[in-house]
Chain A
Amino acid sequence: DTGVSQDPRHKITKRGQNVTFRCDPISEHNRLYWYRQTLGQGPEFLTYFQNEAQLEKSRLLSDRFSAERPKGSFSTLEIQRTEQGDSAMYLCASSRARDSKETQYFGPGTRLLVL
């Protein structure tokens, strides 16, 4: 059994460029979550999917951010026209709805640095 994986692990980009991150959840998990963590803070919720449906988006998710989970398996998070304030760790987590503990298991994260 493999855990949640994320790609890339690190990304350095110039302001104004677009970036895309990928998350592969644990295979039997139907829920997938994206969080953002800035330095010295706890992760903050961005959005989540149940299967392929995006059911909730945080106000943190500006219109430059878009997330997809087209086949209910992997997900992508795209940031358009990146800004320096987008520099953060982007964490993906997955869980199995109806699991008694409803525990979310996190991937290793993608560290984004916008220059």
Chain B
Amino acid sequence: AQKITQTQPGMFVQEKEAVTLDCTYDTSDQSYGLFWYKQPSSGEMIFLIYQGSYDEQNATEGRYSLNFQKARKSANLVISASQLGDSAMYFCAMREGPGDKIIFGKGTRLHILP
């Protein structure tokens, strides 16, 4: 069974609009961490935001916020005021195990339209 599910293979959004990228996860651990990474066409994985399972507040980093709903096991990424440079692949991920390896979803390709 997938541990990280991203149901939107691709999205098209008008520039300056807000966008929400969906992510649900599956774990039986009480302590876990959730990440979002951005991967532009150059291939580098860029860390965007982190949410710990015990964090009471939703994480925010500039234009990025993570809508963490623990009971629903969802960790959606919200990008406010989207920009053309936001066009990229976005991966939701969860750290797992004693070594904290990261399990990635299949990603959502975001296209920002001018």
Interface size class of B (residues with CB under 8 A): 20 to 34
A22 interface hit (Cβ, 8 Å): no
Interface size class of A (residues with CB under 8 A): 20 to 34
- CB within 8 Å for A106 and B100 given contacts A42-B105, A101-B52: no
B35 proximity list for chain A (CB < 8 A): 103-104
Tell me the smallest distance from the CB of B42 to a CB of chain A, in Å: 7
A45 and B102 contact, CB distance less than 8 A: yes
B44 and A109 contact, CB distance less than 8 A: yes
Choose one: B44, B97, B101; the contact of A107 (CB below 8 Å).
B44
- CB within 8 Å for A106 and B44 given contacts A42-B106, A42-B107, A101-B33: yes
A40 proximity list for chain B (CB < 8 A): 106
Of the stretches A48-56, A62-70, A75-83, the one at the interface is: A48-56
Which residues of chain A from 84 to 112 have any CB-CB distance to chain B below 8 Å in the complex? 89, 91, 93, 95, 97, 100-109, 111
> CA separation between A104 and B44, bound complex, in Å?
13
Choose one: A43, A56, A91, A108; the contact of B99 (CB below 8 Å).
A56
A41 interface hit (Cβ, 8 Å): yes
A31 proximity list for chain B (CB < 8 A): 99-100
CB-defined interface of B85-108 with A at 8 Å, one 1/0 digit per residue?
A: 000000101010101111111110
B45 and A43 contact, CB distance less than 8 A: yes
B97 proximity list for chain A (CB < 8 A): 56
B105 proximity list for chain A (CB < 8 A): 42
B43 and A111 contact, CB distance less than 8 A: yes
B50 and A101 contact, CB distance less than 8 A: yes
B47 interface hit (Cβ, 8 Å): yes
A106 and B104 contact, CB distance less than 8 A: no
A108 and B47 contact, CB distance less than 8 A: no
B37, B43, B107 interface centre (most CB from chain A within 10 Å): B43
Residue of B nearest to A107 (CB): B44
A103 and B43 contact, CB distance less than 8 A: no
- CB within 8 Å for A102 and B107 given contacts A91-B45, A108-B42, A108-B44: no
> CA separation between A59 and B82, bound complex, in Å?
39
> CA separation between A111 and B105, bound complex, in Å?
20
